[in-house]
Chain A
Amino acid sequence: MTAPVLRPAALRAAALRAAPGRRPPSPGRRILSPHDWGRRGTRYGWRGIHTALFAGLVLLGALPLIWMARAAVSTTTDLVQRPLALWPDPPMWSNLADAWNLLGIGQYLWNTVWLVAGSWVVQLIVAATAGFALAVIRPWYGRYVYAALLVTLFVPGTVTLIALYLTVLDLPGIGISIADTPWAVWLPAGAHAFNILLAKQFFDAIPRELFEAAQVDGAGWFTIFRRIVLPMSKPILAVISLLAIMTAWKDFLWPLIVLTDPALQPLSVALPRLAQNTDPAYLIAGLVIASVPPIIVFLAFQRQIVSGIGFTGLK
């Protein structure tokens, strides 16, 4: 599962090469063949399409963000007078610092990081332990538990929202409320069956001989988990981590409901509230500060993210 899942195209190419009696396909061809590219009309037509494609991608993918960066360091007058400019005149570098201090962005950013980190840890622990139990230990009741876990994938989170909120207000059997604490975000984040599905499928593909050999050598389940499975599972743990972090960073509705105390709210909840009575330039500076960390993570891990999306439906 490691390489094949993360690089299906490469695997398929290898399989095609290995298949006997097959003519190797022309390298790199898709719908258009080299012959098509050799025809002048087709070539110019597709160059035109591709130029339009890049123009559209830059216009919609990059320019709004460049505009946001420019607006964050512009004066309000400049924004009104030259709405389409991509360079500030005069540049107001102090906006970022002012927004940071006046709006308390630092606190909200820290809250976001804290909430994301906790959700990430909880999701990793749940996915790795449950995946290990279901794929490696394989108790007799494992498939019933797995089915019960997967069923939750078919119930949209918004449908159980109110009941989940009431649960958080008064944990059944314990009788305490975790609303307005980070736990209200961390713990429900762990109840995400898709992570377990990913972990289990990955662990399923590890040869069982490894575990049996370790058992013969006297290793217990915990040793097998820590010494064999976890070190071999870095690719899938990385995918789960990226999914967890990016989802948690984007989360809005749930923290809006359970974190009513502004001192705990993440940026995504605080920004719309601040937007109502803030100078636009400061607000946009806040938007930039909230966007920079995910953009950096994306650019740093874009290959893993892009190749991971094809099979996870990451959003």
Chain B
Amino acid sequence: MTSAPTRLPVPTTSPAGEAPRHPAPAAAPPRRRVPGMRRRASLAGLVFLVPALVLFGYFAWWPIARSVVLAFQQTNLVDPAEWVGWANFEQLFADPLLPTAALNTLWFAALSLLIGLPIPLFVAVAMSELRRGGALARVLAYLPVVIPPVVSVLLWKVFFAPGENGVVNSALGLVGLGPFPWLQSPELAMPSLVIVATWSGAGTAILIYLAALAGVSTELYEAAELDGASIWQRVWHVTLPQMRGVILVLLLLQIIGALQVFTEPYVMTDGGPANATVTVLLMIYRYAFLFGNYGVATALSVLLAVVLVIVSAVYLRLTRSWSSS
């Protein structure tokens, strides 16, 4: 459910993206048809679609429509919802926490990209050149992803214990650094959350990059080598351009996912210290389930959706103009 945005189909070099399109019935090659079959097909199709239609109707389409309406309503779950116009948005913009949460979320997203984009790419390129132990490397890279997010967050909360006896601080102490206050410090709390999020997410990116790397034609490398390209020139001029599609899509998914971060700040810091890790989604959660103000919470959800749409549109437009130049 909450992971839906991260599971958009990722175009890779696998043939999945080129799977046969559903041909329009009119365009289908003429077949001998039993009379009345078309009507029977439409009835049988409906019967088989019932589970999907019912569940999507209740738990996907209706909530989408309801969100838009609810953003302009006030409801306490007992009386019928009351239309309040833009009041929810006004209350939201009067909340001094909103700019903080927006900036925190952007800061989280920026940091996540800063370490979450280059590291998996570099690791994947190094892993694809392994001549032995590739399977072991993939298992090790993916293990942190397998752990439930709540477990990794609680585990890292223990690792980040302040003082000299914390695990991370003891490890850094071996090389003469620290101790750092990590989650207790307004400056370090957000980077700590980014470390945890990257730790539990990088494995997926690594494996997707590996699949894309396997799809780069060997002949391109051979041609580049014949032309005298060094190894790094081959990486720069062959590998990266060939993988650009995957990198760009994954980057967009990472941005969208990072803007919706919740589990890490909720479980590790609960927004603290001094609101340094309050994110937009944490605000939505608090408005709805702490204050029972569903209208304002939904208004913020709708704002978030608008931002996500704008980000995606701008991003796709930018990357398209890059590709054409």
**A residues within 8 Å of B by Cβ?**
1, 4-5, 8-9, 11-12, 22, 25-26, 28-33, 35-37, 42, 46, 49-50, 53-54, 56-58, 60-62, 64-65, 67-68, 71, 80-81, 83-84, 122, 125-126, 129-130, 132-135, 137-143, 145-146, 148-149, 152-169, 171-172, 187-194, 196-197, 200-201, 204-205, 212, 215, 220-221, 225, 243, 246-247, 249-254, 257, 267-269, 271-272, 275, 280, 283-284, 287, 290-291, 294-295, 297-299, 302, 305-306, 309-315
Contacts and interface: CB of A to CB of B under 8 A. Distances in A.
A166 B70 contact: yes
A61 B127 CA distance: 14
For the complex of A and B, 8 pairs with smallest distance between CB atoms? A310-B211, A139-B45, A61-B140, A133-B48, A130-B52, A8-B14, A313-B10, A25-B218
B154 A287 contact: yes
A156 B5 CA distance: 5
B109 interface: no
A146 B45 CA distance: 12
A138 B221 contact: no
A313 B9 contact: yes
Contacts of A135: 22
Contact of B218 (A30, A139, A167): A30
Contact of B305 (A156, A250, A294): A156
A252 B60 CA distance: 19
B274 interface: no
Given A162-B67, A291-B147, 19 more contacts: A61-B139, A125-B51, A126-B51, A130-B48, A133-B45, A140-B38, A143-B22, A152-B4, A156-B256, A165-B288, A167-B66, A190-B55, A200-B22, A247-B3, A250-B149, A253-B263, A253-B285, A290-B151, A311-B16
B284 interface: yes
Interface in B13-35: 13-16, 19-20, 22, 24-25, 28, 31, 34
A39 to B, nearest CB: 10
B46 interface: yes
B6 A60 contact: no
B325 interface: no
A163 B149 contact: no
Contacts of A271: 150-151, 154
16 contacts: A1-B16, A8-B15, A8-B16, A32-B129, A57-B141, A64-B159, A84-B170, A145-B52, A158-B2, A159-B305, A164-B63, A167-B63, A167-B66, A172-B58, A310-B211, A313-B6
Given A5-B15, A29-B221, A159-B302, A252 B263 contact: yes
Contact of A159 (B46, B135, B304): B304
B120 to A, nearest CB: 12
Interface string B183-223: 00000000000000001010110011011111110110110
A205 B22 CA distance: 10
A31 B128 contact: yes
A65 B147 CA distance: 9
B113 interface: no
B136 to A, nearest CB: 8
Interface string B154-171: 110111000001110011
Given A25-B218, A201-B19, A166 B208 contact: no
B282 to A, nearest CB: 11
B146 A295 contact: yes
B269 to A, nearest CB: 12
A194 B75 CA distance: 33
Interface centre among B4, B127, B263 (most CB of A within 10 A): B4
Nearest to A294: B146
Interface in B49-78: 49-53, 55-56, 58-64, 66-67, 70, 75, 77
B235 interface: yes
A8 B165 contact: no
Interface in B96-137: 123, 125-131, 133, 135, 137
B91 interface: no
B8 A315 contact: no
B94 interface: no
Given A83-B170, A153-B4, A160 B148 contact: no
B301 A161 contact: yes
Nearest to B202: A60
B319 interface: no
